[in-house]
Structure 1
């Protein structure tokens, strides 16, 4: 066989080879391009998540204990030598991700006194710090930088941030003394200290200022009568000299990981490297890092998203494989007479296959290479997909020769008849397929899987179940049509009878499987997306069981009334939440020797009202909602772990727990696995009814307020909350100082939006959209193949009926009646498969990583029914349009004249 002859045949059957080439191009394009796009979305999601975190969260901080330096050592010299040594010992993946690094040495804060501080009656502790490059990161506002030349008996020179100095009534030239303080606050062994200069940072976001304690902030005292703490800058020579004199020092080395240096594809290696650093850190150092928390959260999301994408990709690629088989079968069916004639003239059994292989080699590799090249143009890092592209190209190239080998050696026969009772061989294959699909599904549920990896069992189960469902539909498909056809035979008119009779005899095995695969993939994406969306709503309601929540320290009692007067507010209720409280066995406070427990104090009726006004589905337990003041212990709802411990200790009817310094007796009135406002990871909690508390000398002050309302102004809520805190501090049980930390306001809408944004949500959304759209489009294309497969036979029948007087309107009706059962069965079966698959796969997909830990619940969605009906109507209209166009192209008269085969 010459190449020229093969080229001529390709040109003659150009439409069929063009279709095969397009399908090949799409397959290799998806294999090559989609992983790049997914990697791109993953990188963007990781960048967004890291940027949303405080920059200091990416710091790896080594810290020495507070030690007395040897007189012969220079603190800064040792720190400088160890700075590079610590970086060299890091794992390579961590070291390559370090973008910035700093080191400093501190003299621990000591008491400072002076006229300027005494004028404001301020109690202040001052720490001394030396840090290279700090002068380049700041601008001197007044005075001078501390001199590097050490002069004995000269006061210690220190530079302060200008805002810190102003708040503490200090200025350039302020004379102070620094030393240790005794129990009465008097200075011991004080030495002179002078404020040499004041500076202002060039960029407050520069990481050099993030060292702890910070240079640019006043550290608030933890209680009344405690000092403020600040940090000042001193010269290296001064710090070395003071350290040599025995002043306690502490060194710190910080390495900040760059956002752009952390690769989403190597997260596991990065997390393993952080664990290795923690295990292998020097014994005399403490390693502090928090970057592993967002990295682990993102890794959980991206692994779940990649696992879901594997399921979707399996469905899409299996559908494309089915379309390629259909395209090859359709091409060979049109050329059956050619291959039969080739055998009749003495050709070998493989002559037709060799001819088809030569033609396929001229088309498929070129289309595959073009698809692979187009895929490389997608943005994102590549995956090692070349072996898959080669394998797909080989398989598609062999599709046409294998279809040729299936051509019967004899003449053509009727292929529009199927027997209701299949052959033993076919029945064995179908039963084996059903058993295999069932076993694979059971094995997957029992075995589980490793998220983020392409599990062969995971990607095969959806395909096997779809094929099994299509087989069942194919077996059940003719029976109702035979009954309808018999009923239609008794009615007037031939359209219904002929249409149902032909639909019942249609050979649609392979096309029906492909349609079920495509529609099942689309329905699976729609159902899982709806389940994730609903679970995010529940997660938002768990975090904020109202329209908004205001969290602070303690609010004055009248804050609730003030909140109620704000525009849009309909209801307000109070809440107290305390973590890690000890359970007691009596009112005196005898420790019950049980694990620490969180306590949540809520106004039962108020919480119920706020939840109802906020349209939150929250069922407040009756024991908490209806509780009233009275003798005896308070009815409490506890977690199962607490209930078990109390029962074991014999305290189920009487136990005590402290709330803001007051101890309350409670009894177990019920259990709940979780409850809104309780910490996500808390498995030990006690919920008490606020409205039933006994009268005490002091009453609890709310630490959070739940708000129900419309169009709430977050800034107004924040101001009212801050004012409520200030009133409590001025008029409460004790008078305190004004705090600089304000309240936080979280709305349920903002929490819900945050759950759907950032992280790997872009990858998840891409998978849902691509799967739903791709499955629907490929399903319509499979239906078109199904229509074209029987177009010649239908054309002959319609030609005869038109000759016998069938009108154009009756012809269209006959097409609808014949095609409607096929379309309906395929679409409904695919939708059913797509609805069942999430129930099977949801427990192993790990999608709770996208819902703040709330388990994803996949349930029946009424909107799916409307979507299926709409898709079915579109598919039926599309099928009729394809049939009409095909008949117009073939011309029915020529089909009747030339379509008879002999």
Structure 2
């Protein structure tokens, strides 16, 4: 048989197969690449946004004895090479650069009663990180007599801020330490070349004067390489550190699990190579664990959506193959009747389908590489699955239909009654799907990270169950409709509905593609709507007002007046936040003093708020059960408890907190402004230089611009659009599949006087009921899936860390 002649004869169907296959392969291979790129971008952003001291790997050694001292740079460099050799392969690819340090801590300035601390610090790359603005870089240490002893004198350099904050002067010598004293001579003053560099996250003690406790000030002064010779851990707290920075851009989301394992292995290796004297300091495992939880949810949702898209695309392609096979029916029957072998009959449609789908799949697969992003395994697996589904159906259908030559069939008969075994199997599938849905809701979130097979299987099981119920039950409402229209004199409704009720399974199955298509589309729409609604709520929870200005110090009155007169500002509510003492013991709580009535007024349209409060105090659940509350805040206040609030929008959502009227303060030290309006944030930041300006709109944009959130939202849009196109194609193919049988019926009816208009109505009535029933079932499935999957899918990482009531 001439395959190419048949291909030219059926070129229209071949072109349809080619277009459907190439587009399907482009989608199933291109979307995963785009998603993986979004996952990688999200990981890069998370690691970059985290402080370097958490994201990087720091090998630390606490020095307590002279035998563990390191006095030369080369000794530090030798240890650095040792730690880098111990890095597992997944981490070795990520680590680039680094620095070493030696720092003392809690080194008091003698005579300050523990209120001032001047620590000594050596940084291996200080010459590249700082600029000396006064004096000179430190040199070699010397010695001096102090209280009858000879003590070392370190030449040090301090940051500019320390001169004012700690009352230090260039050229001054300070004695430091208590039992083992030393002296620090200030010979230089520096500033950071790039204060915003992530490097300073590890060395903020060098760049800033810090207050670890009230009335205490700490700063670390720089010493030279030569100063290491006199620096010892005997008699003071000394720590050596080797910082191995993690290059966020080199990290891949697909390797997160390997990275977590590698960090744990590196920690063990460091301990073994140093006999337990050295340990690994890093927050990388927690960062990766949090990211993996968000990634797992994104991948689960995407697998469900992409799996539905792949199933629908393959189903539409199979429909096109079915239509091609029906057009070859007469030719294949003739070949089989003339003694053709079954393998010849099977080879013809399989070869024709292969001619169309194999080049199309290759083209779609090749085009997917135009989409930027890594290549996950599904990129390679998707197109072969589509090809196998098409060619497999093209081979199996004629093998079943033409297994016996000259087998006569009547297409106008109702399908045979299903066997008891088949009915039992279908009932079992439905019962198992319902039981699985119940167990999934009862179980809730799984504890293990990664993909949950039970969660991935359940949507498929529910779809199959709904399809089985639909296949068995759809004729009954149609037969009822037939009885109703049989009483009228019009013949077209009776004939159309009768043919729809008596449709063969082969005529109904094409329309059932609507079921997963609509189910996935509605599922995506429901998830998108619930996440968007929760994102909006989270943005209000984070700000507590349309615009909020917070400051660490009191905001001057003249600045408040300028804010009031700024264009776009409608109302300004004053507030003071701080920590208060509860009773006379050590119990503390976070508090905000504010005019609650004014605050409620600017939150009139917001989804968050507080109960009315004119006097007394509102407390958090941690302070529940008290009739009155005595607090120390500027003065001693004894206030009645007027209610319990789960959270204070924009301020407190856990722990001990309370809200009091601002009028109870003797003189409110306003450090927070709650603003109603749409003023420019940059202008407000200029008016209050000490403040941090946020808005509900900016918080909402930040939540929505997260790479993982954006990837999920864009994927939903693309998949929904693709499914809509496939639904239209499926309906058209469904009409074409039943066209020959419909044409014969219409030709017979034409002899009885059927007009063209009536013929069109007959076609609509034959197809429309099944489409409507399937559409209703698909919509129901789409609404059911979020309800079933909701308790087992944590979408809070995409909604500002608020739980999403999926399908609720």
Same fold (TM over 0.5): yes
Check whether the contact 1:105–1:131 (CA below 8 A) recurs between aligned residues.
yes
Q: Pick from 628, 631, 644: which aligns with 2:615?
A: 628
Q: Secondary structure at the match of 2:245?
A: strand
2:752 aligned with 1:756, yes or no? Answer: no
Match of 2:427 in 1: 431
Distance in 2 (CA, whole Å) between partners of 1:628 and 1:333 is: 82
Distance in 1 (CA, whole Å) between partners of 2:757 and 2:69 is: 107
Match of 1:310 in 2: 303
User: Taking structure 1 as reference, are residues 557 and 689 closer, same or farther at Cα in structure 2, changes over 3 Å only?
Assistant: farther
Check whether the contact 1:353–1:402 (CA below 8 A) recurs between aligned residues.
yes
TM-score, normalising length from structure 1? 0.75
Distance in 2 (CA, whole Å) between partners of 1:665 and 1:194 is: 51
User: Taking structure 1 as reference, are residues 399 and 582 closer, same or farther at Cα in structure 2, changes over 3 Å only?
Assistant: farther
Deviations 1:623-674 (A, max 9, x none): xx24535xxxx5x4542x654xxxxxxxx35464645376666777665555
Check whether the contact 1:761–1:850 (CA below 8 A) recurs between aligned residues.
yes
2:678 aligned with 1:711, yes or no? Answer: yes
2:227 aligned with 1:238, yes or no? Answer: yes
Distance in 2 (CA, whole Å) between partners of 1:504 and 1:157 is: 97
Q: Secondary structure at the match of 1:251?
A: strand
Match of 1:532 in 2: 531
Check whether the contact 1:307–1:451 (CA below 8 A) recurs between aligned residues.
no
User: Taking structure 1 as reference, are residues 686 and 424 closer, same or farther at Cα in structure 2, changes over 3 Å only?
Assistant: same
Distance in 2 (CA, whole Å) between partners of 1:286 and 1:744 is: 37
Deviations 1:572-620 (A, max 9, x none): 44556667x886xxx55497xxxx86666664433322321xx212353
Q: Pick from 88, 98, 103: which aligns with 2:100?
A: 103
Distance in 2 (CA, whole Å) between partners of 1:545 and 1:340 is: 75
- Give 1:21 shift: 4.9
Distance in 1 (CA, whole Å) between partners of 2:143 and 2:354 is: 88
2:203 aligned with 1:212, yes or no? Answer: yes
Distance in 1 (CA, whole Å) between partners of 2:382 and 2:227 is: 66
Distance in 2 (CA, whole Å) between partners of 1:189 and 1:819 is: 95
Deviations 1:294-338 (A, max 9, x none): 433322221111001111122122223322432333222223333
User: Taking structure 1 as reference, are residues 411 and 72 closer, same or farther at Cα in structure 2, changes over 3 Å only?
Assistant: closer
User: Taking structure 1 as reference, are residues 486 and 221 closer, same or farther at Cα in structure 2, changes over 3 Å only?
Assistant: closer
Match of 2:172 in 1: 176
Q: Secondary structure at the match of 1:784?
A: helix
Match of 1:772 in 2: 720
User: Taking structure 1 as reference, are residues 801 and 452 closer, same or farther at Cα in structure 2, changes over 3 Å only?
Assistant: farther
2:465 aligned with 1:468, yes or no? Answer: yes
Match of 1:296 in 2: 289
- Give 1:436 shift: 3.4
User: Taking structure 1 as reference, are residues 130 and 349 closer, same or farther at Cα in structure 2, changes over 3 Å only?
Assistant: closer
2:684 aligned with 1:690, yes or no? Answer: no
Query: 1:2-21 residue pairs with structure 2 within 5 A?
Result: 5-21=2-18
Match of 1:120 in 2: none
Q: Secondary structure at the match of 1:406?
A: helix
User: Taking structure 1 as reference, are residues 686 and 416 closer, same or farther at Cα in structure 2, changes over 3 Å only?
Assistant: farther
Distance in 2 (CA, whole Å) between partners of 1:207 and 1:435 is: 57
Query: 1:612-651 residue pairs with structure 2 within 5 A?
Result: 612=604, 615-621=605-611, 625-626=612-613, 628=615, 636-639=618-621, 643=624
- Give 1:536 shift: 0.9
2:508 aligned with 1:509, yes or no? Answer: yes
Distance in 2 (CA, whole Å) between partners of 1:436 and 1:784 is: 34
Distance in 2 (CA, whole Å) between partners of 1:223 and 1:572 is: 32
Check whether the contact 1:126–1:232 (CA below 8 A) recurs between aligned residues.
yes
Deviations 1:255-282 (A, max 9, x none): 2111122221111232344455567656
Q: Secondary structure at the match of 2:97?
A: strand
Distance in 2 (CA, whole Å) between partners of 1:798 and 1:71 is: 99
Distance in 2 (CA, whole Å) between partners of 1:358 and 1:75 is: 76
- Give 1:855 shift: 1.4
- Give 1:542 shift: 1.7
- Give 1:532 shift: 0.7
Check whether the contact 1:175–1:192 (CA below 8 A) recurs between aligned residues.
no
Distance in 2 (CA, whole Å) between partners of 1:107 and 1:366 is: 69
Distance in 1 (CA, whole Å) between partners of 2:726 and 2:511 is: 13
- Give 1:235 shift: 2.4
- Give 1:781 shift: 1.6
2:392 aligned with 1:398, yes or no? Answer: yes
Check whether the contact 1:32–1:372 (CA below 8 A) recurs between aligned residues.
yes
- Give 1:749 shift: 1.0
- Give 1:534 shift: 0.7
- Give 1:420 shift: 11
2:786 aligned with 1:838, yes or no? Answer: yes
Distance in 2 (CA, whole Å) between partners of 1:718 and 1:125 is: 34
- Give 1:539 shift: 1.3
TM-score, normalising length from structure 2? 0.83
Q: Secondary structure at the match of 1:300?
A: helix
Q: Secondary structure at the match of 1:94?
A: helix
User: Taking structure 1 as reference, are residues 338 and 242 closer, same or farther at Cα in structure 2, changes over 3 Å only?
Assistant: closer
Distance in 2 (CA, whole Å) between partners of 1:478 and 1:25 is: 36
Distance in 1 (CA, whole Å) between partners of 2:184 and 2:450 is: 65
Distance in 1 (CA, whole Å) between partners of 2:518 and 2:164 is: 69
Q: Secondary structure at the match of 2:91?
A: helix
Deviations 1:503-538 (A, max 9, x none): 444444212321111121111111111111111111
Q: Secondary structure at the match of 2:289?
A: helix
Distance in 1 (CA, whole Å) between partners of 2:584 and 2:220 is: 44
Match of 2:633 in 1: 660
Q: Secondary structure at the match of 1:100?
A: coil
- Give 1:80 shift: 3.5
Of 399-408 and 89-98, deviating more is: 89-98
Distance in 2 (CA, whole Å) between partners of 1:151 and 1:687 is: 56
User: Taking structure 1 as reference, are residues 774 and 276 closer, same or farther at Cα in structure 2, changes over 3 Å only?
Assistant: same
User: Taking structure 1 as reference, are residues 168 and 575 closer, same or farther at Cα in structure 2, changes over 3 Å only?
Assistant: closer
Check whether the contact 1:297–1:849 (CA below 8 A) recurs between aligned residues.
no
Check whether the contact 2:594–2:659 (CA below 8 A) recurs between aligned residues.
yes
Query: 1:263-662 residue pairs with structure 2 within 5 A?
Result: 263-275=252-264, 281=271, 283-285=276-278, 287-347=280-340, 352-360=345-353, 364-376=357-369, 378-385=371-378, 386=380, 390=384, 393-407=387-401, 409=404, 413-415=409-411, 418=414, 424=420, 427-447=423-443, 449=446, 453-485=450-482, 488=485, 496-507=493-504, 508-553=507-552, 555=554, 564-573=564-573, 587-589=583-585, 603-612=595-604, 615-621=605-611, 625-626=612-613, 628=615, 636-639=618-621, 643=624, 652-654=625-627, 656=629, 658=631, 660=633
Distance in 1 (CA, whole Å) between partners of 2:17 and 2:175 is: 86
Q: Secondary structure at the match of 1:712?
A: coil
Distance in 2 (CA, whole Å) between partners of 1:439 and 1:221 is: 57
Check whether the contact 1:471–1:513 (CA below 8 A) recurs between aligned residues.
no
User: Taking structure 1 as reference, are residues 845 and 157 closer, same or farther at Cα in structure 2, changes over 3 Å only?
Assistant: same
- Give 1:746 shift: 1.7
User: Taking structure 1 as reference, are residues 814 and 560 closer, same or farther at Cα in structure 2, changes over 3 Å only?
Assistant: farther
Match of 2:149 in 1: none
- Give 1:87 shift: 3.4
Match of 2:148 in 1: none
Distance in 2 (CA, whole Å) between partners of 1:468 and 1:666 is: 61
